[in-house]
Amino acid sequence: MKRAHSVARAIRSPMPLLLAPVLAVQAWRTVRRTPRLDPATGDEQGFVAGADPGRGPALRVMVIGESTAVGVGASRHAEALPGFLAEELGERLRRSVAWSVSGRNGATARRIIGGLVPPANGSAPNVVVVTTGINDLIRRRPLRRWAADVTELVALLRGRFPEATVLVAGMPPVHRFPALPRPLRSVLGARARAMDRITRDAAAAGGAVHAPMDEAMARDRRLFAADGFHPSAAGYRAWARDLARVAVAAAPAPAPGPAPGPGDPPQDTPPAGAVPPRTAD
């Protein structure tokens, strides 16, 4: 019943008065009928060997956030967003990738700020991906507070991992979620798009990169898990492919080093922490 109330709160917005009862009933039925899926299991860190050992030390990737960070809808983290993202980056860069995940099912942006961002240490990540927004949507976080939350989250990540490329995943196309009937999906979808615009602006202002989710993904039912709300393993793979493309394009080019002397070997190995430009698909 508590979940039903939280979903019902999400659809309260200026709208024709006659539509509000319909949305409330749809929210209640959706909660009753939607299966509850568990987070992915298995190790919360892993390693993908690269094809070219000469590419330098392993790239370190960290995924932080809500249910999609912890792989709800997939069986293991290696077959969810962190593992697939590492595979995609490894293939594009021909480089080894070490991945880790820090998240919690149901986490809001405030919850992520309050305790899900790991402390910086000697093995700081080179790429950080944060997934957040759906739970703030469900709880109908006021848009002004959402803007403040995502701005603070970006500042926290950029301050804690200043050398990393920080990707803020865009809001999913909620208006196409199979679990949501119309007009409920349209109302929630409109609010999700507003939240995504705020996220994009906050990321740009804070020195992070907004990575929008491809709406075409939501047209393929096979990319959704059994609940019609979270990605399936295939959905996580497709999403990871898009995130990897953005990460490689957004990463700064390696700083130029000193010119090699007559007897020096070729300087073709990128420095630790740099993501070299993609050379081939």
Dump pLDDT digits (tens) for 119-149.
988 789 999 999 999 999 999 899 999 999 9
Q: Average pLDDT of 104-108? A: 97
Over 50: is that where the pLDDT of 12 sits? no
Domains (range + CATH), the chain: 2-250 (3.40.50.1110)
Q: Confidence band (pLDDT; 50, 70, 90) for 177?
A: very high
* Burial of 49 per CB tally in 10 Å (0-12, 13-18, 19+): exposed
Helix (H) or strand (E) holding 65: strand 59-65
pLDDT on residue 234: 96
Percentage of residues in the chain with pLDDT exceeding 90? Answer: 66
Closest among 230, 236, 235 to 37, alpha carbons compared: 230
Helix 184-206 to helix 143-160 angle, to the nearest 10 degrees? 40
Q: Stretch 257-269: mean pLDDT, rounded? A: 41
Question: Which pLDDT band holds residue 5 (cuts at 50, 70, 90)?
Answer: very low
Helix ranges restricted to H, the chain: 2-10, 19-33, 81-93, 109-115, 134-138, 143-160, 184-206, 233-250
21: CB partners within 8 A, 6+ apart: none
Structure tokens belonging to residue 69: 């960070």
HSE (side-chain half, CA atoms, 13 Å) at 133: 28
| Low-confidence winner among 37-51, 146-160, 227-241, 254-268 (lowest mean pLDDT) | 254-268
Question: Mean pLDDT score of the chain, rounded to an integer?
Answer: 85
CA separation for the pair 83, 98 (Å, rounded): 9
Q: With residue 99 as reference, give the H or E element that holds it.
A: strand 97-103
Summarize pLDDT for 182-194 with one digit per residue, the tens: 888 899 999 999 9
Q: How large is the average pLDDT for residues 258-277?
A: 40
Report the C-alpha gap between 107 and 87 in whole angstroms.
26
Residue 246 sits at the vertex; the CA angle it makes with 245 and 247, to the nearest 5 degrees, is 95
**pLDDT tens, residue by residue, 229-261:** 999 999 999 999 999 999 999 976 544 444 444
By DSSP bridging, strand 209-211 and strand 165-169 are parallel
Query: Distance between CA 278 and CA 165 in Å, rounded?
Result: 15
C-beta separation of 73 from 232 below 8 A: yes
The average pLDDT across 31-56 equals 88
- Looking at per-residue pLDDT, the higher value among 219 and 71 belongs to 71
- pLDDT for residue 215: 86
Q: What percent of the chain has pLDDT over 70?
A: 81
Q: Would you call 251 helix, strand, or coil by DSSP?
A: coil
CA–CA distance, 144 with 141 (Å, rounded to integer): 8
pLDDT-derived band of residue 17, with 50, 70 and 90 as boundaries? low
Residue 265 has pLDDT above 90, yes or no: no
Per-residue model confidence (pLDDT) at position 268:
37
Q: What is the pLDDT of residue 53?
A: 76
This prediction's pTM: 0.82
Q: What pLDDT score was predicted for residue 202?
A: 98
Look at residue 206 and tell me whether its pLDDT is greater than 60: yes
